[in-house]
Each structure stands twice: as C-alpha cells, then as structure tokens.
C-alpha cells in the first residue's frame, strides 16, 4: 500500500514537468520547422508558390476553367460572353487551379515565394514562439501560482504574436497574388497554334481572410485580462495578511 501511494505521489510530481518539457520540445520543433519550410520556399523547393486570385475573364467551363471562345465548345454548347480566337486560343485553359477557390502559381523570386507560403511557415513559427512565451506561465500554474507576476503580460504577448502572424499571412497572400499575376501576364503562353499573350485583365488578386485565428487572439486576451485581475486580487490579499 505504501509503495502504491509513493508511486502515485511520484507520478503527480513528474507529470507537470514532463508535460512542460514536451511542450518545450514541440515549440522548438515548430520554430525550426517553420524556418526550414521558409528556407525551402525561398529556394523554390517543396511546395510551389501559389496565391488566391479572382477571375474576370468570360468563363464558361468552371471544372477545368476554360474561357469562352467564339466558335469553340467543349460539350456541344457555347457560352457567352465570348472572346475571339485571336485573343485566346480555343481549348486552352486558364493558368489557375481549384483549391477552395482559384489559385494561380508561377516561377517567382524568393521574396514572393515567401509571401505566398507565409500561412504555412509563419504559422509554424508563431505557434512555436507562443509556446515558448507561455511555458513560464505553465510552470508557475503547475506549481500552484497561476496568478504569478508576468503571466498576464505573457498571455498578451502571445495574443500579439498570433495577430501579427495572421495579418502577415493574409496580406502576404494578397501581395504575392499581385506579383504572380504580373509574372503570368508577362510570360508568353503556348498552344498548338503558337505563342500568345495572357490578357492583362483576366486575373486579379483575391483577399481571402481566415477568421479562426481571431478566436485564438480573443481567447488569449480574455485569459490575460482574467489573469491580470487575479494577480491584483492575490496581491491585495497578500498585503492584508
């Protein structure tokens, strides 16, 4: 019986430090993975640089994204409005793909590639940094001091990191889309009938906003406010003793 009690006490003592140690390792791995992914993107390796776009071309076939061209049809029916074959060769798809929306990709410079992939690598780095910021707060909470001085500030900094990463990834996608479209429009395209130019008004950047990080920011700010109030109450109580 005594041995079982001792093992239970040992498990309680080792549990929180082991969990915090695991979180520390995961946080460092997240930062390292984000930096590695960013480096691969800058070198043009790994995933291709793609960004969300919206179409202003006369589109008739959405599955493969073919423009409407006069005198040409895929399934026996034509669509309107249509462009002349001199402007766009019949049967040539637009340089976009479907991925929850329209995505355009091109061979771009390292800066544009980083902006286009910011949602992935910046998210990893931000998650790791948030973990490193909050580990001291987790340690004090595990030791029975959830309202230790500095915990509210750490939660506020964590919220700021998440917000900054969210804004950077969202704006980065939009800027990358503009640059990718410029490259597509400046690069001649090829078809069985010869080369042709991409019309300059058929693709436009699309601002796609994912709102779920805002929920994390609000949660962290709410915890920061509650922790700040708890710290003040604890300080007042200790002053009365």
For residue 193, the 8-state DSSP code is T
Asked if the model's pLDDT at residue 57 lies above 90, the reply is no
Query: How far is the C-alpha of 26 from the C-alpha of 35, rounded, in Å?
Result: 14
Same-domain pairing of 144 and 159: yes
Domain membership flag for residue 25: yes
User: Which carries the bigger pLDDT value, residue 46 or residue 7?
Assistant: 46
Same-domain pairing of 231 and 115: yes
pLDDT band of residue 11 (cuts 50, 70, 90) is very low
The pTM for the full model equals 0.83
pLDDT band of residue 4 (cuts 50, 70, 90) is very low
Per the structure, the count of domains in the chain is: 2
* Residue 239: exposure state from Cβ atoms within 10 A (0-12, 13-18, ≥19): exposed
Same-domain pairing of 62 and 36: no
- Taking only the tens place, the pLDDT of each residue in 92-113 is 999 998 887 899 999 999 999 9
pLDDT value of position 20: 86
- Taking only the tens place, the pLDDT of each residue in 167-224 is 999 999 999 999 999 999 999 998 888 899 999 989 999 999 999 999 999 999 999 9
């Amino acid at each position: 019986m005594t041995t079982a009690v001792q093992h239970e006490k040992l498990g309680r003592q080792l549990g929180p430090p082991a969990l915090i140690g695991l979180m520390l390792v995961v946080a460092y791995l997240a930062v390292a993975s984000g930096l590695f992914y960013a480096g691969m993107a800058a070198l043009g390796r790994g995933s291709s640089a793609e960004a969300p776009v919206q179409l202003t071309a006369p589109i008739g076939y959405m599955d493969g994204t073919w423009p409407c061209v006069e005198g040409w049809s895929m399934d026996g029916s034509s669509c309107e409005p249509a462009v002349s074959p001199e402007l766009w060769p019949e049967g040539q798809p637009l340089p976009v793909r479907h991925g929850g929306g329209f995505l355009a990709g091109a061979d771009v410079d390292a800066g544009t590639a980083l902006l286009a992939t910011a949602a992935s690598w910046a998210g990893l780095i931000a998650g790791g940094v948030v973990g490193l910021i909050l580990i001291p707060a987790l340690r004090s909470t595990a030791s029975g001091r959830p309202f230790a001085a500095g915990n509210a500030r750490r939660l506020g900094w964590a919220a700021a990191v998440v917000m900054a990463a969210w804004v950077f990834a969202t704006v980065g996608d939009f800027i990358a889309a503009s640059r990718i479209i410029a490259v597509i429009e400046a690069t001649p395209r090829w078809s069985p009938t010869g080369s042709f130019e991409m019309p300059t008004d058929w693709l436009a950047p699309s601002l796609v906003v994912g709102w779920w990080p805002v929920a994390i920011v609000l949660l962290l700010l709410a915890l920061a406010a509650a922790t700040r109030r708890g710290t003040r109450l604890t300080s007042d109580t200790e002053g009365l003793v």
